[in-house]
């Protein structure tokens, strides 16, 4: 495949945009080469500026769960745009999507919409601090909760790819209120709580981690967190920006049957427009301005185009009883196929998967946290990534990312992908 025009466009971009990109993981830093510029996409396929077609396994890092240019979303946005694109005043649409989200997700009474997953997590933590009147939070190494200051401490994929676990610009004062724990290590959490009695406002966790590859919680881990939180007056925040509306209608809370106190959303909830949200029971949500003392706001929050896209997406998921089963089956089929060809070619690997989140790690030992995820062989990954691009398959340009399966993928696409992986595996 040729990448002449993408290379030219990247060179132009680098002159006026730092690193040529508006979000670092797009830059191909960890795999080398120049990023592919997209012209358009439809269903499971990307079409780049050089005229190549790629089967897409990133899907905008999750949102396009029903495929690119999904008709109901395109129609909703197009129709809505004609009526005005922003008012800074309430619209009926906001109540409609809020009511639908509250009906789909267990254990939440009210939801507030923001513009990104970052904003959702940042606001959720402020709310938890205000509600509990405590300052500290516990986060897990390798979990990503967006790029706000409190979370840029061993933040997983993006930050990890660049070898900067802690970003300059985060003050020591902010960093000291974020306590770092090991994913899937309950004893570690227990000792942090004991060392900081009555000081911890919240534990924030990706219930199924997706930013160090896909790392499922080990048996009892989330149940243990739930219990520790309840016993110690700590709020449990599930960051479901990735898992929400992807693993089940009600996200990981429903799938795993564990209730969080505050839940964060992003990605799928916006149908491909910039949307995030956080939600909780009324007692907690009523602590937010204008009802309560915790301030949180946004000029474009609840934007009509974004809400129209999100509503069309959630309605489509809610009305399709078989959608999550279908996604699970397609991803399981892909997993089985990848196992077969990697084994046949004697590749050393581990595959992790939960529902439609899957990751391939080039190391034989189980991947259960950041440390074990980091053991994957990055040179092999680079070859794997570029080999797949040559075959017309696009996965994330980083070894620490989950693949996001879309329902737009056909079984022919999956077979094509498995064959491509077979071919590329022979070169590793």
Q: Is 211 in the site for ligand PLP (CB under 6 A)?
A: yes
State which residue, 146 or 355, has the beta carbon closest to ligand PLP. Answer: 146
Q: Is 59 in the site for ligand PLP (CB under 6 A)?
A: no
Q: How far is the CB of 331 from ligand PLP (least distance, A)?
A: 17
State which residue, 121 or 323, has the beta carbon closest to ligand PLP. Answer: 121
Query: Strand 262-265 vs strand 235-239: parallel, antiparallel, or unpaired?
Result: parallel
Q: Is 158 in the site for ligand PLP (CB under 6 A)?
A: no
Of positions 121, 127, 203, 284, contacts ligand PLP by CB under 6 A: 121
Cα–Cα dist 244/202, whole Å: 20
Residues 168-207 that bind ligand PLP (CB under 6 A): 206
Cα–Cα dist 100/311, whole Å: 8
State which residue, 52 or 352, has the beta carbon closest to ligand PLP. Answer: 352
How many CB atoms sit inside 10 A of residue 200's CB? Answer: 26
The stretch among 35-43, 84-92, 144-152, 416-424 that binds ligand PLP (CB under 6 A) is: 144-152
Q: Is 242 in the site for ligand PLP (CB under 6 A)?
A: yes
Q: How far is the CB of 117 from ligand PLP (least distance, A)?
A: 2
Q: Is 145 in the site for ligand PLP (CB under 6 A)?
A: yes
Q: Is 116 in the site for ligand PLP (CB under 6 A)?
A: yes
With 0-12 CB in 10 A as exposed, 13-18 as middle and 19+ as buried, what is 31? buried
Residues 253-312 that bind ligand PLP (CB under 6 A): 266, 276
State which residue, 143 or 409, has the beta carbon closest to ligand PLP. Answer: 143
Angle (CA) 287 291 295, round 5°: 65
Of positions 118, 154, 356, 425, contacts ligand PLP by CB under 6 A: 118
Q: Is 155 in the site for ligand PLP (CB under 6 A)?
A: no
Q: How far is the CB of 147 from ligand PLP (least distance, A)?
A: 7
Instruction: List the one residue out of 326, 424, 369, 400 whose CA is nearest residue 65.
Output: 326
* Cis peptide leading into residue 353 (ω within 30°): no
Q: How far is the CB of 44 from ligand PLP (least distance, A)?
A: 21
State which residue, 210 or 251, has the beta carbon closest to ligand PLP. Answer: 210
Q: Is 241 in the site for ligand PLP (CB under 6 A)?
A: yes
Q: How far is the CB of 11 from ligand PLP (least distance, A)?
A: 26
Q: What is the DSSP letter of 146?
A: -
The owner of tokens 């799928």 is 268
Q: How far is the CB of 155 from ligand PLP (least distance, A)?
A: 9
DSSP states of 88-110 as a string?
SS--HHHHHHHHHHHHHSTT-SE
User: Taking CB positions, which residue lies at the least distance from ligand PLP?
Assistant: 117
Catalytic site positions: 144, 239, 267
Cα–Cα dist 316/65, whole Å: 11
The stretch among 48-56, 127-135, 138-146, 323-331 that binds ligand PLP (CB under 6 A) is: 138-146
Q: Is 376 in the site for ligand PLP (CB under 6 A)?
A: no
The percent helix, strand, coil of the chain (3-state, each to 5) is 40, 15, 40
The owner of tokens 């008709």 is 71
Q: What dihedral do alpha carbons 422, 424, 425, 428 form, nearest 10°?
A: 170
Identify the three-state secondary structure at position 277: strand
CA 340 vs CA 140, 249, 348: distances in Å: 33, 31, 12
Q: Is 131 in the site for ligand PLP (CB under 6 A)?
A: no
Binding site for ligand PLP (CB under 6 A): 116-118, 121, 144-146, 206, 210-211, 239, 241-242, 266, 276
């Amino acid at each position: 495949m040729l990448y002449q025009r993408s290379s030219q466009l990247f060179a132009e971009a680098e002159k006026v945009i730092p690193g040529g990109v508006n979000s670092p993981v797009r830059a191909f830093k960890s795999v080398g080469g120049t990023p592919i510029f997209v012209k358009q996409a439809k269903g499971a396929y990307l079409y780049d500026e050089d005229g190549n077609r790629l089967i897409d396994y990133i899907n905008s890092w999750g949102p396009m769960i029903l495929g690119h240019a999904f008709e109901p979303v395109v129609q909703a946005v197009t129709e809505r745009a004609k009526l005005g694109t922003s008012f800074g005043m309430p619209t009926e649409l906001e109540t409609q999507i809020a009511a639908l989200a509250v009906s789909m997700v267990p254990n939440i009474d009210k939801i507030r919409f923001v513009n990104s997953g970052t904003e959702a997590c940042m606001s959720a933590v402020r709310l938890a601090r205000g509600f509990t009147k405590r300052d500290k939070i516990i986060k897990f190494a390798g979990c990503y909760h967006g790029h706000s200051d409190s979370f840029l401490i061993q933040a997983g994929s993006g930050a990890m790819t660049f070898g900067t676990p802690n970003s300059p610009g985060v003050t020591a004062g902010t960093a000291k209120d974020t306590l770092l724990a090991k994913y899937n290590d309950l004893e570690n959490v227990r000792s942090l709580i004991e060392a900081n009695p009555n000081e911890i406002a919240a534990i924030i966790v990706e219930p199924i981690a997706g930013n160090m590859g896909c790392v499922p919680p080990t048996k009892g881990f989330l149940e243990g967190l739930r219990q520790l939180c309840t016993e110690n007056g700590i709020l449990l925040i599930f960051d479901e920006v990735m898992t929400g509306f992807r693993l089940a209608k009600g996200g990981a809370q429903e799938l795993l049957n564990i209730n969080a106190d505050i839940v964060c959303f992003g990605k799928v909830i916006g149908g491909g427009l910039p949307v995030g949200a956080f939600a909780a029971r009324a007692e907690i949500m009523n602590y937010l301005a204008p009802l309560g003392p915790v301030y949180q706001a946004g000029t474009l929050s609840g934007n009509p185009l974004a809400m129209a896209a999100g509503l069309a997406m959630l309605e489509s998921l809610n009305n399709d009883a078989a959608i999550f089963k279908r996604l699970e089956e397609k991803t399981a089929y892909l997993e089985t196929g990848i196992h077969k060809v990697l084994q046949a070619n004697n590749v050393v690997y581990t595959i992790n998967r939960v529902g439609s989140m899957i990751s391939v790690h080039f190391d034989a030992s189980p991947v259960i946290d950041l440390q074990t995820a980091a053991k994957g062989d990055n040179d092999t990954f680079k070859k794997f990534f570029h080999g797949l691009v040559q075959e017309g398959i696009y996965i994330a340009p980083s070894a620490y990312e989950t693949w996001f399966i879309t329902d737009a993928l056909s079984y022919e696409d999956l077979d094509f992908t498995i064959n491509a992986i077979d071919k590329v595996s022979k070169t590793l």
